[in-house]
Amino acid sequence: MFLGCKSATECTGDKCVTLDVEIDGIPSVDALHARSDIGIKGVFDAGVAYVYVKAFQKNTRVHLPEGGVPNAVASLTRDVATSTWKGQLSLDNPSGAVVFLAYAVDSSGQQLYSGTYEIPNINGYGHDVFTIPVTGNTNPNAAAGAYVLASPSDEFAGWGPGGGWVFYDKKSYTSGWRYLEAAPVSWNGEPENEGQGAWGMRGTLVPGLSAVIGSGKLNTETLAAYNTSHSLTGTAAQVCQDINFNAFTDWYLPSINELTQMDANLKQNAIGDLQTDKYWSSSQYDTNMGRLYDFDPEGGSITNNKDDPFFFRPVRQF
């Protein structure tokens, strides 16, 4: 491990920390199962095509710049001799507690393994190499998936690739995703100021919106386009669709049933910094009313005038 300054092409800040990292926990198989289609010959890690590592500021879950590039991701390479994935991260001006998220994917991008590692004070870190333990399964549809739900008993459980909290696992990959993660409150650049906006306009029915889990992404695309066509700006769906946070631009406004899962797996466990208040969904009730979720213990699914501002929290599928 090296602490110090590197050339401007590698780091842009006054202080650069370059870290050597290894991954532990991915099983190897023999050469008979080599995968030439992903460029790995001989002994290799079953089903794994790529391994990535990201660094997040712990308190905000904001992705740290890597190698002088905001939101960059370190891609590790496999050391055939040791059957270990290794690489380096060069972080610009890191400080305080930093959490590293490692995850492995197959050639189609489905998540196989993940794990986290914390350096409580990056300023005083002095180890040569740190190893991130990961767990998961070479079958992306196995019950023991790459991710677990966020947990009040383990502050590092349920970290998603976007730095959010994993709040739903449908147990298999369909339509290109298995998990849902909710963005941290810092998604809008103001960690103590949750975003607010209207749902849309009263007096019209937006066609094609759904309440079911998994429908929020298409709902958001439909609702944002509808609001834009009616000269509305700054609505919850439009803002979510335009977010570029932690290297992802696929955040969306959750459906009402997705918000129900956020309540059960996040809010009721005091996870995610959700307000004890009402949050817009991307689901609809009628021509004048949109559907919200009230995170008050006596709340639940409710309706309200579409043009009233309320909180909203982006989520994403992966």
Residue 229 has a CB neighbour count (10 Å cut-off) of: 8
Q: Domain 2-146 belongs to what architecture?
A: Sandwich (2.60)
pLDDT at 67: 60
Cα dihedral value 121, 54, 105, 170, nearest 10: 80
pLDDT at 89: 85
81-126 pLDDT, tens digit per residue, is: 777 899 988 888 889 999 999 999 999 999 999 999 999 999 888 7
Say if residues 282 and 255 touch (Cβ distance below 8 Å).
Answer: yes
Block residue for tokens 């309440």 = 211
Taking 80 as the threshold, does the pLDDT of residue 33 lie above it? no
Taking 80 as the threshold, does the pLDDT of residue 128 lie above it? no
Domain residue limits, the chain: 2-146, 196-317
Q: Which helix (H) or strand (E) holds 278?
A: strand 278-284
Q: What is the pTM of this model?
A: 0.89
Determine how β-strand 130-133 pairs with β-strand 16-24. parallel
Reading the block at residue 240, the tokens are 């979510």
Amino acid at 108: S
Say if residues 148 and 271 touch (Cβ distance below 8 Å).
Answer: no
pLDDT at 6: 38
Reading the block at residue 94, the tokens are 């890191």
For residue 71, what pLDDT band results from cuts at 50, 70 and 90? Answer: low
The C-alpha atoms of residue 220 and residue 225 are separated, in whole angstroms, by: 8
| C-alpha separations of 228 from 103, 157, 236, 297, 305 in Å | 37, 38, 12, 35, 18
Q: DSSP labels for 94-132? A: --S-EEEEEEEE-TT--EEEEEEEEES-GGG---S-EEE
Say if residues 60 and 163 touch (Cβ distance below 8 Å).
Answer: no
234-249 pLDDT, tens digit per residue, is: 999 999 999 999 989 9
